[in-house]
Structure 1
Amino acid sequence: MAHLSSQPSYIRHDICSFYCARSSRDSAPKPRTATLRKLYDPSDPDHVEPRVLDTGALLLFFPAPNTVTGADVLELHVHGGPAIVRSILNAISKHGRSSRVRDGAIRHAEPGEFTKWAFYNGRLDLTQAEALGETLAAETEQQRRLAVSGTDGGLAKRYEEWRTMLLCARGELEALIDFSEDQHFDESPAEFMSSISEQVVALKRQVELHLLNASRGELLRNGISIALLGAPNAGKSSLLNRIVGREAAIVSAEEGTTRDIVDVSVDLNGWLCRVGDMAGLRSKEQSVIGSIEQEGIRRARERALQSDVVVVLLSIEMDADRKPTVSINGEVLEAVQECHATGKTILAVLNKIDLVVDQPRANKEAARDLHTRVCQILPMVPAGRICMISCRRASDDPTASDPDPGSIQAFLTVLTDAFSELTTASTGEIRDNRMTAAEAQSYWTASLSVTHRQSTYLSEGLRHLDDFLSLACYPQSQPSQAQSYLPTESDGTMEFAHSSDPNGYHGDRHKNLDAPNIVSDPDAHAHADDIVDIVTAAEHLRFAADCFAKITGKGESGDVEDILGVVFEK
């Protein structure tokens, strides 16, 4: 469908003059009713027999304001021949140049213009517009679910509630500033500040949780990065080929075949993933390593540290007594320990299980021993994330007796379970007695759809909230420094690391509000520096409220117009 734009107040006139024949039926179509009409060229309306553009077109007219854009909308369903479509578009454009419409013409809509008019007419807010763009760009099932969850307007409603709360709190401070000497307040200034600080602390924790979940949502939106880590000939390239279902990497018995990183994108059960096959890790003590392979090993370790999930490939070998065993070299173990220290999700995959003897009892016992051995050499990997596969058997055709030869599908199930854990919305320590656990999970799942633009303003608003609390809860002689917030999780407790504080910035920093740094009598303090600057505190609340206004496009923020183009161009 071609998207055309015109001034809503004149569109009905243009519609009628375009499609109506000279008969008693010269009238606009009935709203929301499909009407069969002939389309004529309006360039010469006084001609005895105007030129017919399409002998039978369906017209659907939707009057404002109950339309997708909030303006009058006309849909022309014409025959799909290129010549017919081109002639109709040319006739509309030619007629539009002489019509009383915005910019003097009916024209093709600019990118995102229909969505922009929907925003201006109150049919969408900015968060819904961004979610619509994400929906159109979704390539996998998880991306589609993420985008659709943001189209209901729940996020915008939540941000508007936050903004309103901050404006009310700021109003209380303004009243305290302007009328404290002339009016009697039921609460003292200290009680005022304590009450407002408690509200801001609660809001701050919610914003922190939104940012944490936004980082998880980015994994769904941009894809989960997977690194295949292991020694040479462990089966990394073979596993990559089995995952993506094609020969994406060269497989050879010769060690060191893979030198550079081979990245392949794949849809795994609805999750967009980028799987990276890398050079095998081995130390110089094992053999002579050339400069190219050394660079490949360096890049492999760097890629593993940048990934979201690390799959450690271990290979079964037969010892001198022809018994299956597994070992790990120091280079691989060191790389795994580094990944564990940075909080990466780690899976261990034991390849070449086909080397284990075929007798059922011996096979079961040997597999159990190998699993125990992997748990010993990689204690940081949970037992449930240790898989046994055979890339060689995976090439066999599935049969009724063995529908998953090589156990590759079983491994992918464990892998996608790890994806689900990575991308599940966290509820942190926030509890609402009005909601059940399932309702709370659903409530916070919406925060996964927070976009990068929204995260930017949430982070900025969080800094202003922290600046307010620093004034309210600490002396002015201890000014707050510029914060850099990095969401982390430790033992199920949400924290935000402070880049300039070696001890870390914790989410419970402002829990103690029993003695806010404000007094009704300034003379009670020995130092004037210990008095809260209420004017500055109120300004921090205003700045934070403006950040939420920029997210939704509502409120009194002066530069909301500046960000509209950035949103709708997408």
Structure 2
Amino acid sequence: MFRYALRSVLKQRPRNFGTAPVPLPYQSWHYHLSRIRSLSSSSLPKINDALFIRNDTIYALSSGTGRAGIAVIRISGPDCLDVYRRLCPNKAVPKPRFAGVRTLFEPGPVDAPAANIVDSDALVLYFPAPKTVTGEDVLEFHVHGGPATVKAALSAIRKCSPSGGIRYAEPGEFTKRAFYNGRLDLAQIESLGDTLAAQTEQQRRAAVRGNSGTLGKTYDSWREQLLLARGEIEALIDFSEDQHFDESPAELLTNVTKLVKGILRAIQLHKLGSQRSELLRNGIRIALLGPPNAGKSSLMNQIVGREASIVSAEAGTTRDIVEASLDIRGYLCSFADTAGIRTKTLETLSQPDGTSAPAIGAIEEEGIRRARQKALDSDVIIVLASVEATKSGAHRISYDVETLELAAGAQQCLVAVNKADVVSPEPLKQLMQNFKSSVLAGIDGLRDVEPLTISCKAAVSPAAAGLTDAGGIHALTEALAQSFSNLTSLPDDMQHLLGVTERQNQLLSECERHLRDFMAEVGKSDSYDEPDVVLAAEHLRLAALRLASITGRGESGDVEEVLGVIFEK
């Protein structure tokens, strides 16, 4: 009976409240059952909604446009077999899910013999409902991919029903039918869109992880538990005077609170997954900082593989931010070369010949301001220092303290020392040790950072052709890739959370807000105010509605507002 439904759910989820739910009064069973059914009757998509699902048959070119060896035309709907019989007269329908070779004819009058051949040796596949991509009968024609052949095949399909029962599909309509026939939920559809839009290997992996349906099942499970808990609370509201409950109102609210706390903890993990997946989708932002003439532009050109920034021996060449997008080890990145940062009283930024650096002008000052802002907006910061010769002929590492302190607050930070070619290995090793112990060790957030040595000049010299990692650029790139992994990786048992999208994250935040409002309301039992159980039940309803909006299953409303946008992607 329904009164024990929550008990069975909770036994499967020991982290949620584990005691039995409140038994419902026997005389009110039918009333209560109808109430709960009304809460969850819309848990599946409305398949017969006339606004979205029609009884006509649709077709479209499923493969890419343009000249190709093979073009795939997909047909979905109740008239698939009629289309086949018109295009392949007097030929048996291929065995379901097995390919058959057929000659396609242009349909003429029903009783007239077929005349014009559309395509010979076309491949035909038939998939009967309901276990198809759309949940309907599906027919596919794999024809030769020449533009004229494809155009003729599409025209022939349209002629199979002059009355308009067969029409060209609207954008995303195959996916929409799959949704309304229960083959996909919104979370899977968003993941499918990410799969199609993936430009890098990491984007593809994240999209595939979200396509398993695990997320949708999780959100449906949370929603079911919240609706059952709401039903128990509303039963308490309606029948508390009957005195047929095994638990007091306080005990019931305590048990529901345990359930809500468990869901809140899980939501935090899902939001973490969303933050990391957004980095993969939108790209990781990298800022290259350092003093003037440290070689930032040369390093950027080495990493992006082209002359994106102007390189000159004159300090301060870069006054504005130069950005470039690239794929580094499968991660989409936005790389920004910034103006050299220096202060008006910076002793370490004297010129290589020992003279003082020129004064900071208005244009350079604006470039420095933009560089600082870019650093604050970035996910990874690369701080560049350089080996410089002093007037006496010795060498030192030139750096900017403010830049190092700025980078220390970043999520991920790399420190690289350029111009390693100007000094021999042993003195360079000593310089690096002193730099780490006397400079980096004194800055919170950089004590454990191991600085890298690079030489942009050595990387482009003719002698670099036979070297594995000339100039240390490869090692720097590998360190960058590791920092990307630190930003985006999750434990193996949480990999599916990389499929959480920004839309889902926003709805999870709204669900979290309603659940915290519920916690605040029931928390009044510890104070002078009595909790309003009616308001508490309403918070659970609103939280469940947000979960329904994620998967598209549940009450209509804001779910339907996002359907068009998602399906057309």
TM-score (norm 2): 0.81
- Match of residue 344, structure 1, among 408, 411, 414: 411
In the alignment, is the contact (CA less than 8 A) between 1:325 and 1:370 conserved in 2? no
Q: Which amino acid aligns with 1:190?
A: A
Per the TM alignment, residue 420 of structure 1 is displaced from its structure 2 partner at its CA by 0.8
Letter in 2 for 1:32: R
Percentage of identical aligned residues: 50
Contact 2:408 2:444 in 1 (8 A): no
Alignment of 1:392-411 (within 5 A): 392-396=457-461, 402-411=467-476
User: 1:366: how far off?
Assistant: 4.1
Checking the alignment, whether the CA contact within 8 Å between 2:75 and 2:139 is kept in structure 1 is no
Shift in Å, 1:169: 1.2
Trace 1:42-121 onto structure 2 (pairs within 5 A). 42-47=107-112, 50-98=115-163, 104-121=164-181
Residues 74, 140 of structure 2: 8 Å contact kept: no
Partner-residue secondary structure (3-state), 2:61: coil
Compute the RMSD of aligned alpha carbons: 2.2
| 1:216 pairs with one of 258, 268, 276 | 276
CA change 1:338–1:375 in 2 (3 A) is closer
CA distance in 1, matches of 2:241, 2:234: 13
Determine whether 1:550 maps to 2:549: yes
State the distance in 1 between where 2:360 and 2:434 align: 33
Q: CA contact under 8 A between 1:356 and 1:366: conserved in structure 2?
A: no
Q: Report the Cα distance in structure 1 between the residues aligned to 2:245 and 2:185, rounded to whole angstroms.
A: 39
- CA deviations 1:157-216 (Å, max 9, x no partner) are 111111111111111111111111103222211111111112111211211221122112
The one-letter code sitting in structure 2 at the alignment partner of 1:298 is R
Matches of 2:463 and 2:103, distance apart in 1: 59
Quote the offset at 1:365 in angstroms.
3.6
Gaps of 5+ in 1: 99-103, 426-440, 475-515, 519-526
Q: Which moved more, 1:203-212 or 1:151-160?
A: 203-212
Partner secondary structure for residue 178 of structure 2: helix
How many residues align? The count is: 489
SS of the equivalent of 1:294 reads helix
Contact 1:328 1:377 in 2 (8 A): no
Per-residue CA deviation, residues 32-63 of structure 1 (Å, 9 max, x unaligned), is 22222221111344445612222322211111
Please tell me whether the aligned partners of residues 508 and 546 of structure 2 are also in contact (alpha carbons under 8 angstroms): yes
Question: Structure 1 residue 536 and structure 2 residue 530: aligned?
Answer: no
Separation of aligned partners in 2, 1:313 and 1:92? 63
On the 8 A contact 1:398/1:404 being kept in 2, the answer is: no
Once residues 459 and 279 of structure 2 are traced to their aligned partners in structure 1, the CA distance between those partners, rounded to angstroms, is: 29
Structure 1 residue 362: Cα displacement: 4.4
1: distance between equivalents of 2:233 and 2:271?
A: 28
Q: Which residue of structure 2 lines up, in the alignment, with residue 2 of structure 1?
A: 61
Are positions 1:292 and 2:363 aligned together?
Answer: yes
How far apart are the structure 1 equivalents of 2:244 and 2:341?
75
Could you tell me which amino acid in structure 2 is paired with residue 318 of structure 1?
A
C-alpha distance 288-464 of structure 1, shift in aligned 2 (>3 A): same
Is the CA contact (8 Å cut-off) linking 1:309 and 1:345 kept in structure 2?
yes
Give, as a single letter, the amino acid of the residue that structure 1 aligns with 2:61: A
The aligned runs of 1:304-383 (5 Å cut-off) are: 304-329=375-400, 333-341=401-409, 343-358=410-425, 361-376=426-441, 378-383=443-448
Rounded Cα–Cα distance in structure 2 between residues aligned with 1:6 and 1:57: 15
In the alignment, the residues of structure 1 paired with residue 136 and residue 336 of structure 2 have an alpha-carbon distance, to the nearest angstrom, of 49
Residue 334 of structure 1 aligns with an amino acid whose one-letter code is E
Instruction: Quote how far apart the aligned CAs of 1:372 are.
Output: 3.1
Task: Check whether the contact 1:143–1:220 (CA below 8 A) recurs between aligned residues.
Answer: yes
| 2:514 is aligned with 1:464 | yes
Q: Structure 1 residues 539 and 5, CA, compared in 2 at 3 Å: closer, same or farther?
A: farther
1:430 corresponds to: none
* 1:144-293 alignment runs, 5 A limit: 144-285=204-345, 286-293=357-364
Contact 1:29 1:60 in 2 (8 A): yes
Q: Which residue of 2 aligns with 1:512?
A: none
Cα distance, 1:266 vs. partner?
Answer: 0.8
* Residue identity in the other structure for 1:464: H
Paired position in structure 2 for 1:429 = none
Give the whole-Å Cα distance in 2 for the aligned partners of 1:281 and 1:87.
64
Which amino acid is 1:61 matched to? Y
Unaligned runs of 5+ in 2: 1-59, 63-72, 346-356
Match of 1:491 in 2: none
Residues of 2 paired with 1:302 and 1:384: CA distance? 23
Letter in 2 for 1:259: R
In structure 2, the CA distance between the partners of 1:186 and 1:233, relative to structure 1 (3 Å rule), is: same
Output the amino acid matched with 1:566: V
Q: Is the 8 A contact 2:397 2:431 kept in 1?
A: no
1:137 aligns with 2:202: no
Q: Secondary structure at the match of 1:55?
A: strand
Match of 1:479 in 2: none
Within 1, Cα distance between the matches of 2:118 and 2:471?
63
Distance in 1 separating the partners of 2:323 and 2:451: 23
Please give the alpha-carbon distance, in whole angstroms, between the structure 2 residues aligned to 1:74 and 1:364: 69
Q: TM-score, normalised by structure 1?
A: 0.81
Output the amino acid matched with 2:303. I
Tell me if the contact between 1:142 and 1:220 (Cα under 8 Å) persists in the aligned partners: yes
Please say if residues 228 and 313 of structure 1, whose CA atoms lie closer than 8 Å, have aligned partners that are also in contact: yes
Query: Could you tell me which residue of structure 2 aligns to residue 388 of structure 1?
Result: 453
Q: What pairs with 1:404-553 in structure 2 (closer than 5 Å)?
A: 404-425=469-490, 441-474=491-524, 516-517=525-526, 530-553=529-552
In structure 2, C-alpha distance between the alignment counterparts of 1:382 and 1:149, rounded to whole Å: 36
Q: Distance in 1 between matches of 2:76 and 2:434?
A: 76
Counterpart of 1:282, as a letter, is R
Paired position in structure 2 for 1:478: none
| AA of the residue aligned to 2:279 | L
Following the alignment from structure 2 to structure 1, what is the Cα–Cα distance between the partners of residues 471 and 301?
13
Deviations 1:370-391 (A, max 9, x none): 4434424645224344211111
| Letter of the 1:53 counterpart | V
SS at match of 1:227: strand
SS in structure 2 opposite 1:31? coil
CA 1:458–1:531: 2 relative to 1, 3 Å: same
Q: Secondary structure at the match of 2:264?
A: helix
CA contact (8 A) 1:546 1:557 kept: no
